[in-house]
């Protein structure tokens, strides 16, 4: 049976060279980075070198990078610190954020009675920047804006430079869940004055269970995990050395090959769009995922003309791995909170599938998917 993986927004296959780094580290560098003997100091040196190399990719300082177990933890760390440490009383966000943001905001509202204001979205789920500016101007309270760089379901791109400038001019802080952007788009914190962003290694062909938070220097960070002074006191727990080095390698490969790989993946996505339009009458694309300039080249969210309850299952039987939404909510029967936010009830009830691509996908695989869809729904 074929094995065609088109769910790269959920996670990506680990690169062989990343596996090599992880394996070598596990064999040769087993010391605890907090130990003072030679074996521990070697591990500590590797952690700090990785921190410096990762920071360089964003034109950031090494002490602005905090290693975590992934982006969900990093989002929690930043949002909770914004409220408890930086005295933020109002957070502006959108209703189509990842649940790592939405659920954290729910808890902060219950615990600290903060205000959450929701920015308006257009008919395709894009942020209304005029409304964002109005929200920023209507309060004198300490404000944090939290908006994702790339929406994980529909691929919409946020203009982070514009949002950063709006936040600076209105004396607000800006945080972005950049999980779907890191390794796929260039971020330079010297050119884009963002205060906080987060990343997960497994979204750019690194290992699962490791990520980082970028926290601009000058902001003190109180830990949400207690028990040690690791990560300059920001996060307790022995550093996950082999995964950190695997993440460093994966990010280096992604950034070194960004232009070539993004061009290739966009060509695969564009071909898929062309073939879908040619072969399926009434096909539509959710959000701006069809638009090359307004969406990630990784994600295409396709809405079929009617509901096909078994389509995901039948594609899986043909060896095609795709998603009906984000992997984090794949067990939910409530549908996509993203699509439900801007589609009418009738349109939201139609079958939508997220196809997400990587450099390992081929035109031949796309042809197989098109033929499989023709068998299943025509």
Which residues participate in catalysis according to the annotation? 328
Half-sphere exposure of 134 (CA within 13 A, CB side): 9
Query: How far is the C-alpha of 279 from the C-alpha of 272, rounded, in Å?
Result: 11
- Alpha-carbon dihedral sign for residues 66, 56, 146, 139: positive
Nearest to 286 by CA among 219, 338, 360, 233: 338
CB 5 within 8 A of CB 356: no
Beta-bridge mates of residue 285: 302
Query: How far is the C-alpha of 330 from the C-alpha of 310, rounded, in Å?
Result: 14
Nearest to 235 by CA among 74, 11, 29, 31: 74
Count Cβ atoms below 10 Å from residue 110 Cβ, excluding itself: 9
Query: How far is the C-alpha of 31 from the C-alpha of 319, rounded, in Å?
Result: 42
CB 221 within 8 A of CB 215: yes
């Amino acid at each position: 049976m074929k094995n065609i993986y088109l769910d790269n927004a959920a996670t990506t296959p680990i690169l062989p060279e990343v596996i090599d780094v992880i394996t070598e580290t596990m064999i040769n560098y087993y010391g605890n980075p907090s130990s003072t003997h030679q074996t521990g100091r070697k591990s500590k040196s590797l952690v700090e070198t990785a921190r410096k190399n990762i920071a360089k990719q964003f034109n950031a300082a090494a002490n602005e990078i905090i290693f975590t177990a992934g982006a969900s933890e990093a989002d929690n760390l930043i949002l909770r610190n914004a409220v408890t440490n930086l005295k933020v009383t109002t957070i502006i966000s959108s209703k189509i954020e990842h649940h790592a943001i939405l659920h954290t905001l729910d808890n902060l509202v219950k615990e600290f009675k903060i205000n959450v204001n929701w920015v308006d979205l257009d008919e395709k789920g894009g942020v209304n920047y005029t409304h964002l500016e109005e929200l920023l101007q209507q309060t004198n309270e300490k404000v944090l804006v939290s908006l994702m760089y790339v929406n994980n379901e529909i691929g919409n791109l946020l203009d982070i430079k514009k949002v950063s400038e709006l936040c600076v001019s209105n004396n607000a802080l800006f945080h972005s869940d950049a999980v779907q952007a890191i390794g796929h788009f260039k971020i330079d914190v010297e050119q884009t004055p963002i205060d906080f962003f987060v990343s997960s290694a497994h979204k750019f062909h690194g290992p699962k269970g490791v990520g980082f938070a970028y926290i601009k220097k000058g902001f003190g960070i109180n830990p949400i995990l207690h028990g040690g002074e690791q990560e300059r006191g920001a996060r307790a727990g022995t550093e996950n050395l082999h995964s950190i080095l695997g993440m460093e390698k994966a990010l280096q490969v992604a950034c070194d090959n960004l232009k070539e790989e993004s061009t290739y993946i966009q060509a695969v996505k564009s071909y898929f769009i062309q073939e879908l339009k040619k072969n399926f009458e009434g096909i539509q694309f959710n959000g701006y995922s069809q638009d090359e300039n307004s969406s990630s080249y990784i994600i295409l969210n396709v809405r079929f003309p009617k509901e096909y309850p078994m389509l995901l299952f039948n594609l899986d039987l043909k060896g095609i791995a795709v998603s009906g939404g984000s992997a984090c909510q794949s067990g939910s029967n409530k549908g996509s909170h993203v699509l439900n936010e801007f589609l009418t009830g009738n349109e939201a009830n139609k079958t939508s599938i997220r196809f997400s691509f990587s450099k390992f996908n081929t035109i031949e695989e796309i042809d197989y998917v098109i033929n499989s869809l023709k068998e299943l729904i025509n």
